[in-house]
Structure 1
């Protein structure tokens, strides 16, 4: 039944497969030579289950997606007060590579523009650039759950063409923001941006943020919840550069883009998303990546203001009222992430029952994505030689689908009786 979610993702990718708008980031020569047709989407649930669509194994460089993670490392290592003394948290309204600082404070406006990101690198406490980069590399790798490596060609290309970033570095030194040699700090910055990732890596990084700093696959705490809260807050307001307002209103997830074509998005408490498509809009965001994230948000109800109550939507109980019959009892507001959890748990346990009964009688609200997933459970079970029934007295899931009325019951007792009759007939449904 996990294929029900997979079908959603595959369909959303198919909707945008033909998009060819945008251009490669040709100001970094190595990025100008990548395959413009590369396209992938990965999603990690908060418990670490991964869905992938497209070229999800294809590696690309992390670029500016690195910025919130180095900012998080700085917060983790030296604390918010010390970081705030060097980097602001206000949206800049400027291009990501603008050579500027705040006119009043003379510090970078936020950590998601180049000036702030370069400053964040300088704040990582280390004896030298190699040790500093090793700390960054280890930190990112802990978010992913595997060791990330540098793309040497991209690193060399960025370093050779980084005049604008060198100007930013020396500007920061002139204002007393950088205490270390600007060229050494910039070398670490170029290496950090050149780390290779996949969309699945990004989804795992997003899921680790969604879990408050705990990698859901390894179980390792990478950083603490206070660091994650601050990092996600800045991602909401500044992560998509001067398109942040459009992003928040249309997509509604903390996110960060990179000129390598990647986007990481986070739904706190629930999931992480990684998207890749290297054709960029004038603001440096992936054209197709933004459209995919917008479709995901709209079709799966992922806007963080929509899902504020979804943390209450859980499986209330799982029990067996009779041999071979399993009841999955839900409650609260059942949206996409809650429905995904239900169908995946039922899928994982399907060899342990003949009949699954989904009880939604205590559900307060449900969205269209969750409704579609749950409606598809019965067909998926039938294809596996089993049966699925629904306790839905208020028509939360089944509204105008007459073909599904046969599996709908008013009470759990009625559904159990029907399940026992199905078993007695040898697993044959009445005609």
Structure 2
């Protein structure tokens, strides 16, 4: 049944692949040479299962998507109180590279703009820049689930053309925000932005945040739940530059973009999304990436305001009621992530069963994407010579007129079992 979710991703990528709006970043010379047609989309569930489509293995530099992870690192290493004395949590209302600080505190307004990110780098514990960067790279690598490294050419290009960031760093030093040498701090910052990732790396890093700081593949804890809560909060209010309000209403997930063309989005407790497409809009956000995330949110029902109870959704019990016939009792609220987990469990079990019966009488709430996924279960099983039935006593989960074409629905498990035996 994972083919159902894969189909959604493939269709969403195809829907937006021909968009030619936007332009690649030019202010860093090495970024101007990337292929503007590249387009990768990855989604990682909180249990580590990954869906990918398009150019999901193409490496690019992380750029400003690094900012929430460095912020999380220093929150974890030195504590929120120490970080709050140097970096605020309010939206700036200014371009990401503005040479400015808060008028009253004389500190950067948040960690998602360049001034805040440079201040965050200065807070990383270490005896010298090399030790600070090694600590940072180790942290990023744990979040990504593999060892990351730096694009040296992009690093040198950023360092050569980074005059504006130098102005920001020296301004911060003048206000007592940076304790160390601004040029040493900037060297770590330029290397941080030049770390190479793929859209699937970003999905894993986002899924690590979704899991409360635990990498879903390795099981290694990268940060505490309290750090994740603070990081996601700032991402939600400040992560998409001047388009943050639009993003919050149309996509509705904590997110961060980068001028390399990447976007990460996090649905807490459920999944992480990574997108790569280099052409940017006037706000510095990937044009295709933004539209793909809007489509994902709308089609899969991922807006955070719509899924607050999804964690209650689960397979309550499974039991075999006849040779080759297995019943899966679902309960709680069944939205995209819950339906995906349930159907992937059926797919995992399908070699050992002939008929799968999903018992839905204890499902409290369901959205249309979950209905479509459940309805598609039978088609997927039939391709493997199997059968799938739904039990919905009152047709409340699959009411007449809802998207249930192809589903075979029974009022009781006994009637579903009789059909299975007749088969």
Residues 403 and 89 of structure 1: CA distance in aligned 2, closer, same or farther (over 3 Å): closer
> Aligned-pair RMSD on alpha carbons?
1.2
Are the structure 2 counterparts of residues 177 and 418 from structure 1 closer, same or farther at C-alpha, using a change threshold of 3 Å? Answer: same
**Measured at CA, do residues 402 and 123 of structure 1 come closer, stay the same or move farther in structure 2, by a change above 3 Å?**
closer
Q: Answer yes or no: is the 8 Å Cα contact 2:281–2:287 preserved in 1.
A: yes
1:417 is matched with 418
Is residue 398–residue 405 contact of structure 1 (8 Å, CA) maintained in 2?
no
Q: 1:310 to 1:402 in 2, by over 3 A?
A: closer
Task: Provide the residue aligned with 1:381 in structure 2.
Answer: 381
Tell me which residue corresponds to 1:425.
none
| Aligned-pair CA distance for 1:370 | 0.8
Match of 2:293 in 1: 293
The aligned runs of 1:104-119 (5 Å cut-off) are: 104-119=104-119
TM-score, with length taken from structure 2? 0.98
Query: 84-93 vs 386-395, which deviates more?
Result: 386-395
Give me the whole-angstrom Cα distance separating, in 1, the residues matched to 2:92 and 2:404: 54
Is the contact made by 2:372 and 2:403 (CA closer than 8 Å) also made in structure 1? no
- Report the counterpart of residue 267 of structure 1 in structure 2: 267
> SS at 2:260's partner residue?
coil
Matches within 5 A, 1:331-410: 331-395=331-395, 396-397=397-398, 399-400=400-401, 404=405, 407-410=408-411
Structure 1 residue 8, shift from structure 2 partner: 0.5
The equivalent residue for 1:133 is: 133
Task: Mark the runs of 5 or more structure 2 residues left unpaired by the alignment.
Answer: none
Q: Give the SS at the match of 2:338.
A: helix
Instruction: Rate the CA distance shift 1:27–1:325 in 2: closer, same or farther, 3 A.
Output: same
Shift of 1:402: 10
How far 1:139 moved relative to its partner? Answer: 0.1
Q: Distance in 2 between matches of 1:350 and 1:418?
A: 18
Alpha-carbon shift at residue 328 of structure 1 (Å): 1.2
Partner residue, 1:124: 124
Name the structure 1 match of 2:50: 50
CA separation in 2, counterparts of 1:323 and 1:389?
16
- The answer as to whether partners of 1:45 and 1:271 remain within 8 angstroms in 2 is yes
Counterparts of 1:403 and 1:193, CA distance in 2? 47
**Residues 36-115 of structure 1 mapped to structure 2, 5 A cutoff:** 36-115=36-115
Q: Partners of 1:234 and 1:282 in 2: how far apart?
A: 22
What TM-score does the superposition give when structure 1 sets the normalisation length?
0.96
CA distance in 2, matches of 1:265, 1:377: 28
2:311 aligned with 1:311: yes
Aligned to 1:429: none
Secondary structure in 2 matching 1:419: helix
- Rate the CA distance shift 1:142–1:405 in 2: closer, same or farther, 3 A: closer
Q: 1:224 — aligned with what?
A: 224
Preserved contact between residue 374 and residue 397 of structure 1 (Cα < 8 Å): no
Name the CA shift for 1:133/1:352 in 2 (closer, same or farther; >3 Å).
same
1:18-33 correspondence runs (5 A)? 18-33=18-33
Other-structure match for 1:184:
184
Separation in 2, partners of 1:401, 1:61: 44
CA distance in 1, matches of 2:393, 2:8: 27
Instruction: Report the alpha carbon displacement of residue 127 of structure 1 after superposing the two structures with TM.
Output: 0.1
Distance 1:406 1:212, change over 3 A: closer
Residue in structure 2 matched with residue 246 of structure 1 by the alignment: 246
Once the 2 structures are TM-superposed, how far is the Cα of residue 413 of structure 1 from its aligned partner? Answer: 1.5
Asked whether the equivalents of residues 375 and 398 of structure 1 are also in contact (C-alpha less than 8 Å), the reply is no
Per the alignment, residue 12 of structure 1 pairs with: 12
Change (3 A) 1:98 1:401: closer
- Equivalenced residue count is 422
Deviation per CA, 1:352-395: give whole Å up to 9, x if none: 10100011111122111111111000011111101111102233
Structure 1: runs of 5 or more not aligned: 423-431
Residue pair 1:92, 1:110 contacting (<8 A) in 2 also: yes
The Cα of 1:242 is off from its aligned counterpart by 1.6
Shift in CA distance, 29/335, structure 1 to aligned 2, threshold 3 Å = same
Structure-2 separation of matches of 1:310 and 1:145: 26
Contact 2:371 / 2:403 at 8 angstroms: preserved in 1?
no
Q: Deviations over 1:71-127 (max 9, x none)?
A: 000000000000000000000011100000000000000000000000000000100
Partner of 1:330: 330
